[in-house]
Structure 1
Amino acid sequence: MTDVDVVVVGGGAMGSAAAWQLAVRGFEVVLLERFSPGHAFGASHGASRIFRLVYGDPLYVGLALEASALWRELGGDVLTETGGVDHGDLTGLAESLEAAGSPGRLITADEARARWPGLRFDTDVFFHPRTGRLHADNAVTKLQEAATYHGAVVRHQEPALSIKLGDKVEVRTAQDVYRARRVVVAVGAWTTRLLGDLVPLPPLRVTQEQPAHFRPLHPGDWPAFIHRVPDGVYGMATPGEGIKVGHHGSGPEVDPDRRDFTAEPGRFRALRDYVRQWLPGVDADAATPISCTYTSTPNSDFVLDRYGPLVVAAGFSGHGFKFVPAIGRVLADLATSDALADPRFRLSIPAGQGNS
């Protein structure tokens, strides 16, 4: 058996950020990851994720502001500010950003079309200069390098086979049994499989999402963009790959161990139809599909909570990556102090179980 202060199970972005924050504080940490470095089986791979402060919800604006500072502290080729535009239903965005001290500005559809001819708009547009692009692969690498620099041990290709509660938590792998006072679990689509018998999880829906990179017809200035319509669309330029465009949370449910990584034809056709209508600056017929997973809660709020000695990070619902370093801080707080989870991020804990 190997005794450590904290075991972190899951070496994607969230688990790697937790390991970094724990190691910085001087705790002895082992990070266990079932796959090899740079794998594409979860939700933390690829070259582009949107970073934005633009939420109508003050909780997420505050978390994004914290994450922004921590991304810069981490350094490296991770965050690039491109500016970003939101159009469609803009309810509450300007007010929320103004209250947080990071205002954007409204511009007319005509002004927006003149500035960004690759996009089409039919409403006013909310522009925020601090929106940008995160390089997901680089982010995970930098987080693990930072964790290792501060003393954490990172073990790839060592999946947690079981977790047993007792005086200390035992995490069993094929290679070892690790014992710790606290265990942080951030395993994305595999959360219910690993923790379903131990923790009162909310329903977690795992879907295979299928954005695509489209060939731009002119180089131009491409901001990150979100079209706030019922079937939600997002996009950004990915250098060397094209303009990434995707519907938010529209993919089919999937078993994460039985994915085919193939775009469902009907949804892929709907995405290309959207691009033809709303993105005149790309070739809708020149597309390379991408595959990733979402693990979503019923209301799209995250799970960041402690249940006995287990700290759970789950349900990031396709919008969590931008917050990664701040979520690492939250998980480290929960693992090493009496900090309580924000009520919005609580587990569904039966009466009398408590948050301890």
Structure 2
Amino acid sequence: MSGSQHLVVGAGLAGAATAWRLAERGHEVTLVERTEPAAPDGSSHGSARIFRYAYHERDYVELAVRAAAAFRELERLHGAPLLTPAPALDHGPGRDPRALARVLQDVGVEHELLGAAEARARWPQLVVDGEVLHQPSGAVIDAEGTVRAMVDLARAAGARVLTGWPLVHLERTATGFTAFSTAGRALDAGHVVVAAGGWLPDLLGGLPLPAGFLAAFPALHVLQENAFHFPYREQHPHGTWPTVIHEVPEILVYALPGGRDAGFRGQKVAEYAGGRPLASAAGQSGAVDAANRTRVSGYVRRYLPGLVPEPYAETTCLFTSTPTEDFVVDGADGITVLSACSGHGAKFAPLLGEIAADVATGGTPPQRFRVGAARPGP
């Protein structure tokens, strides 16, 4: 049995970021991962996530501005880019681009509010029926590359990283905690950060947290989501394809240039929160839902004429969400819980690690991320 000042459980985006931030501050850190960092059956694998600024809530926009700076710091320390510039577009009546533009204006984020004709002229590969919010500083995040960069930086700062180490039980001791894995393996720690993503529902009730904290914890909803890659009709016509958030009454879709894991051949397109509900990540099958494939392909046929409406690659991933889609970064009695990223957390990863490190070392979490906080939703 060995000791560590801080034990971080989970080496996805959130856990890797927390381990890096704690280690760079000089803390003794052990990061444990159920299988391997950015595991393919988790929420942080792959090379394509959206970085955008548009939210209806000012505090999320302000966090996105801070996260952009944190990504620039991470890229500088890593020595290679993790973000690929791509203009970010929001459109459709459900998005209310004009209202989003007002929030960006208040925060001072560069943006354009374009009429439909101007947007169609600029991006003829899209069908646009109304105003479009354009964020020129948008980007595509290499999620797996970001995880590995933060794990490398954590190691360089002295953190120990253990793979194939699933947490099965956490026990309070006189000096902190003992964490138990399979085959009788154990670790001691003074403080524990749990960033277990879709596995959190299986772990949360068994953590030695106060009953009041557990009772106030928001419900966690795990979805096995589907994502599809559709080939470009031409190779990147009209310059770089944008990322898109498009909400119409019948569907909310996100689309972005696919990364290296899909050969950079097309656009990744998915229905937001359109997947199969699970009790936890342990119940995932990895099987793509054929009905969802048909639904998303129909959307592509109608709204993305610059793509061939037949996917050449497809995958599943996990969304673990609270009812308001806010994150939780809070804790009690030596345990910090960092979850859930609610399908929009990748862009905040290096910043969420900083916030979690603050909380783990005695700081107060942002009010919005506290257990029991009144949350209006993003």
Give 1:82's aligned residue: 86
Q: Matched residues in 2 for 1:203 and 1:163: separation?
A: 21
User: In structure 1, what is the Cα distance between the partners aligned to 2:71 and 2:307?
Assistant: 30
The counterpart of 1:314, out of the listed 316, 328, 339, is: 339
Q: Which one has the bigger helix percentage?
A: 2
Q: TM-score, normalised by structure 1?
A: 0.94
Select which of 188, 210, 221 maps to 1:205. Answer: 221
**1:216 and 2:236 matched:** no
| Residues 113 and 132, structure 2, Cα contact 8 Å, conserved in 1 | yes
Deviation, structure 1 residue 4: 1.3
Matched, 1:169 2:177: yes
Percent of pairs with identical residues: 37
Q: Is the 8 A contact 2:223 2:320 kept in 1?
A: yes
Q: Which whole-Å CA distance do the structure 2 matches of 1:144 and 1:24 have between them?
A: 12
Contact 1:90–1:228 (8 Å) recurs in 2: no
Separation in 1 of the partners of 2:191 and 2:52?
32
- Provide the C-alpha distance between the structure 2 equivalents of 1:197 and 1:157, rounded to a whole number of angstroms: 21
Question: Aligned residue for 1:250?
Answer: 274
Structure 1 residue 202 displacement after superposition: 1.7
Q: Does the 8 A contact of 2:223 with 2:273 survive in 1?
A: yes
TM-score of the two chains, using structure 2 as the length reference: 0.89
- Cα deviation for residue 197 of structure 1 reads 3.2
Tell me, what secondary structure is at the counterpart of 1:323? helix
Q: Work out whether 1:192 is the aligned partner of 2:201.
A: yes
2:152 aligns with 145
Q: CA separation in 2, counterparts of 1:9 and 1:142? A: 18
Partner of 1:108: 115
Report the secondary structure of 2:97's partner residue: coil
Q: Which amino acid is the alignment partner of residue 225 of structure 1? A: V
Number of aligned residues: 348
Tell me, yes or no, if structure 1 residue 333 matches structure 2 residue 352: no
**Against the structure 1 CA distance between its residues 34 and 91, is the aligned structure 2 distance closer, same or farther, given a 3 Å change threshold?**
same
2 CA distance for matches of 1:4 and 1:38? Answer: 23
Inter-CA distance 38–188: structure 2 relative to 1 (3 Å threshold): closer
Cα 1:316–1:91, aligned 2, differ >3 Å: closer, same or farther?
farther
- Structure 2: state its 5+ residue gaps: 374-378
* Helix, strand or coil at the partner of 1:285: coil
Return the alpha-carbon distance in structure 1 between the equivalents of residues 332 and 173 of structure 2: 13
Alpha-carbon contact 1:169-1:180 (below 8 Å) kept: yes
Name which of structure 1's ranges 213-222 and 169-178 shifts more when overlaid on structure 2: 169-178
Question: Which structure 1 segments of 5+ residues have no match?
Answer: 350-356
**Deviation string for 1:151-203 (max 9, x for gaps)?**
11111111112111233121112363222221000000111211223341321
1:12-23 alignment, distance < 5 Å: 12-23=12-23
1:352 counterpart residue number: none
Deviations along 1:212-235, one digit per CA (max 9) or x if unpaired, are 000110121311111133531111
Q: Give the CA RMSD over aligned residues.
A: 1.5
2:122 and 2:283 map into 1 onto residues whose CA distance is 44
Deviations for 1:242-271, whole angstroms, at most 9, x for unmatched residues? 200111111011242232212212121111
Aligned equivalent of 2:248? 229
Q: Deviations for 1:94-138, whole angstroms, at most 9, x for unmatched residues?
A: 121112111311111111111111111001111111111000110
Query: Which range moved further: 230-239 or 13-22?
Result: 230-239
Measure how far apart 1:91 and its partner are.
4.8
1:37, CA displacement in angstroms? Answer: 4.2
Structure 1: distance between partners of 2:147 and 2:33: 12
Contact 2:12 2:37 in 1 (8 A): no
1:8 correspondence with 2:2: no
Q: Secondary structure at the match of 1:121?
A: coil
Moved more, 16-25 or 222-231: 222-231
Alpha-carbon shift at residue 42 of structure 1 (Å): 0.5
Q: Classify the secondary structure of the residue corresponding to 1:145.
A: helix
Deviation digits for residues 64-104 of structure 1 (CA, Å, limit 9, x no counterpart) = 11111111111123111211111112252112111211131
